[in-house]
Chains A and B, each alone.
Chain A
Amino acid sequence: MNNPVIAGVYEGPLDAGGRSCLDIAVTAAAGALRDAGRTPADVDGVFAVFPWEDPSIMFASELANRLRIEPAHVDTIAFGGAGPVMMVARAAQAILDGKCSIAVLAAASNRASGIGQAQAIAALRDVLDPEFEVPYGAFVSPIYAITANRHMHEYGTTSEQLAAVAVMQREHASHHSGAAHRTPLTVDEVLSSAVIASPLHRYDCCLVTDFEGALVLTASDRTEGGIEVLGWGEAHDQLSSGQVSALTSRGAQRSGAAAFERAGLSPAEMDVAELYDSFTITVLLTLEDLGLAPKGEAGRLVQEGRFALGGALPVNTNGGMLSYRTGGISHIIEAVHQLRGAAPGAQVDGARHAIVHGIGGAMSTHGTLVLGSAA
């Protein structure tokens, strides 16, 4: 096959030290190039996720400038939380199309150590309509809360099942020394934590942390071994939840189907899943929409341990955004670690195929990747 190959990855520390997003992206890119055994002089493609918390007009071009290179192809990717997955998808397509052959992809955020959590959360209001949504006090979390409310109504999903997602991911994070939170969590602790927007409690909500991550993606003939990008897909629902016909059936159905089709694989062939987890409901809905669980049954299957380490399909093996760190780039890097058989935390034995899903907006923008260890 001529699938693009992930030749290197790098993830920085949890605390980026208040550096600018450009500074963080440079160290991320350097780390991934080092991991791939490359230098900037080899690079002809530069991709970066737009850092809304520290914006600049030509972010990826500035990253190329800092690396002192003049690439053939540069792209700044702006899809909120779906950015990292979408970045890999767009870079994979660019490589297949011959626009570049050795690309560095970076995602950087100082949202905790730079602008700070309160300002980062406040910035999220821009995702919603300033005239017809924001004036009602509707932000990202209430929209996800309404989604959970509908899922409970339609399928009988319970608060205990949502809590079980947070508990499971905390257990996963406990194996990883780099995780933000490793102390065991119980269902009772989740349910007795403050209600943010009913039915979502504090521990149903993801962390707000810095992130510093990068990958080197190359054409198949430029890397020995590596992790193949087997499939990718994207789908874009309306940003405004009032325009979405069913809050419990989202774009992941379409992005996932496209990724599986390109990969020539089915959901049953996945060994590990790294799924965007802004909230616990996000994980349940995405498991179902990707076909990794029957509709309405993801909550029960989480409780039964299907998605825990040691289960049939471990999900968010580093603890995800609920316990490890936020951003979405970590999902991709963790999938690569798993497929390399060298996870820093818990390793899923013999993992050959991984699915990664990213979401932007309030569940509106979807990107899916299917990755595989080279046969």
Chain B
Amino acid sequence: MIPELLPTRQSAASEPYWAAAREGRLVVQRCANCSALQHPPGQVCVRCLSKDVAPETMSGFGHVYGFTVVERAMLLELRPFVPYVVALVDLDEGVRMLSNIIADPAAITIGARLRVAFRRIDGLAQPVFELA
């Protein structure tokens, strides 16, 4: 996790997500009423509006939908961290999430298989991905 960019506005429904990450699990919210998955987590299922939503542990596997290697940081705080890879990751369970890929940028391609990993800092754990 980029220390200067720790999550600043934690949403009302995201505590289980971060708690699971600290335990080394990637969870996505599933609605008990209509079984839809949603990420980021919300206070209700935005498909059926049921409040009966709960975190479900994902396999942690997915593939690259698209990615970029950031070489010039837009923020001063990010300059020490370039180059870094920002990617949209399609989980095997059918959920897309934005993340970082921790790998040699030259080895990353669209469609590449990924496995979740956890970057830890200050008692927080942030899901990121590695090449599987």
B6 interface residue per 8 A CB criterion: yes
Question: What is the interface of chain B mostly: helix, strand, loop, or mixed?
Answer: mixed
A131 to B8, Cβ gap below 8 A? Answer: yes
B66 to A146, Cβ gap below 8 A? Answer: yes
B75 to A241, Cβ gap below 8 A? Answer: no
**Most central of B14, B65, B78 by chain A CB within 10 Å:** B65
Chain A positions within 8 Å of B65 at CB level: 150
- Closest B residue to A124 using CB positions: B74
Q: Give chain A nearest CB distance to B14 CB in angstroms.
A: 6
Question: What is the interface of chain A mostly: helix, strand, loop, or mixed?
Answer: helix
Q: Give chain A nearest CB distance to B42 CB in angstroms.
A: 11
B7 to A130, Cβ gap below 8 A? Answer: yes
Report the separation of the CA atoms of residues A306 and B39 in the bound assembly, to the nearest whole angstrom.
42
A197 to B8, Cβ gap below 8 A? Answer: no
Report the separation of the CA atoms of residues A136 and B69 in the bound assembly, to the nearest whole angstrom.
12
B29 interface residue per 8 A CB criterion: no
B9 to A133, Cβ gap below 8 A? Answer: no
Partner of A242, one of B71, B98, B100: B98
- Closest A residue to B109 using CB positions: A153
Report the separation of the CA atoms of residues A149 and B87 in the bound assembly, to the nearest whole angstrom.
10
**Most central of A122, A125, A138, A145 by chain B CB within 10 Å:** A138
B residues lining the A interface (CB < 8 Å): 1-2, 5-11, 14, 39-40, 65-76, 78, 81, 84, 86-88, 96-100, 105, 110, 126, 128
Having A134-B5, A138-B86, A198-B68, one finds 11 other A-B pairs with CB under 8 Å, namely A121-B74, A125-B74, A125-B75, A130-B8, A134-B8, A136-B98, A146-B87, A149-B67, A194-B72, A197-B86, A241-B88
A residues lining the B interface (CB < 8 Å): 118, 121-122, 124-125, 129-142, 145-150, 153, 194-200, 202, 240-243, 247
